[in-house]
Structure 1
């Protein structure tokens, strides 16, 4: 078994395994095993708490999605994705070693 085969096996048996990390979500109308994390702007962009405490009328909620490259595509930044029936804007997206990482946001008031 070469490295690429070993990595694909680990992705299926551990990271995207429903008994380990993944949960079933609907992404763009497709039921997929995804790892979805809620993220704060502070975690994503490195802003300090003082900067974030300034009054704003609109707050953004961020999520990071991890999906297998074989199950999905790398969406364009600025496009809209539907996750579990809710629309989100794509803030970042990239593929690396068989995994697509997508950072999405939605505005909350």
Structure 2
């Protein structure tokens, strides 16, 4: 019962396009997601290189495959790399990174 209600809340509130979510293109698939900036520590092994990150929250059923660390993917037509990903109660959390231009 709790999981059923939680799944409804994820769809109707958290991933609602009129509330918190936005439509994104993830590897050619349009899905609703909440996108947040992700603060990343500088990579001290490569002087002068900095990174930017994003955290995606979306329905786990929307994932086309397993997002494993360092695998590339396309977010809104731009190449990003997976830092980490997990699924919690039907909600996928995918953290992405790329070098800052």
The answer on 1:65 being equivalent to 2:56 is yes
The aligned residue for residue 97 of structure 2 is: 105
SS for the counterpart of 1:41 is coil
Is contact 1:74–1:100 with CA below 8 Å preserved after alignment? no
Segments of 4+ moved more than 3 angstroms: none
The answer on 1:33 being equivalent to 2:32 is yes
SS for the counterpart of 1:11 is helix
**Root-mean-square deviation (Å):** 1.7
Between 1:69-78 and 1:17-26, the stretch displaced more is 69-78
Is contact 1:80–1:89 with CA below 8 Å preserved after alignment? yes
The aligned residue for residue 45 of structure 1 is: none
Q: Which runs of 5+ in 2 are unaligned?
A: none
Larger radius of gyration: 1
Q: Which runs of 5+ in 1 are unaligned?
A: 43-51
The normalised TM-score by structure 2 is 0.89
| Post-superposition CA distance 1:41-68 (Å, at most 9, x none) | 15xxxxxxxxx5x8x4111001001110
Could you tell me how far 1:71 is from its partner in structure 2? 1.3
The normalised TM-score by structure 1 is 0.82
